[in-house]
Amino acid sequence: MSTLPVYRWRLAPEGLATFRQVRAMGLRPGGQPVAAQLERPRRRRGPLVAYLYRIDRAKPVRPMTAAKRAALDRANAARRICPECRRDVGYRIPLSLGMCSPCGYPATSAV
């Protein structure tokens, strides 16, 4: 088993990028293995770790199909419906609360 090269924060060589950086370029890793690891030190805990991919091996992002767009729209709409009052509240229901704000905090919303 080979060990990944580890670079410190902001010291990675040209040609390597994190997943988010690759996506911002309109690319995807495309099944390639992780090329290196980036570590950002923290004071009280272990370092933050990000995996780096080779940009030259990245592939273009697949285009969104009509079926994928419709499925994504349905999933986002389902996240906006409160399970208590069954209303579309216009924002994504937080998982920590599990319901809309008026249902979660009835005493504070009746003004």
Tokens 């924002």 belong to which residue?
91
**Would you say 59 and 22 are in contact if contact means Cβ atoms under 8 Å apart?**
no
3-state DSSP assignment of residue 81: strand
In terms of Cα–Cα distance, which of 70, 66, 63, 94 is closest to 80? 94
- Give the pLDDT confidence score for residue 111 in this predicted structure: 52
List pLDDT tens digits, range 68-111. Answer: 999 999 999 999 999 999 999 999 998 898 999 888 888 875 55
* pLDDT, position 2: 64
Answering whether pTM is above 0.95, one says no
Q: pLDDT tens across 12-48, in order? A: 999 999 999 999 999 999 999 999 999 999 999 999 9
Domain regions of the chain by residue span: 6-60, 66-104
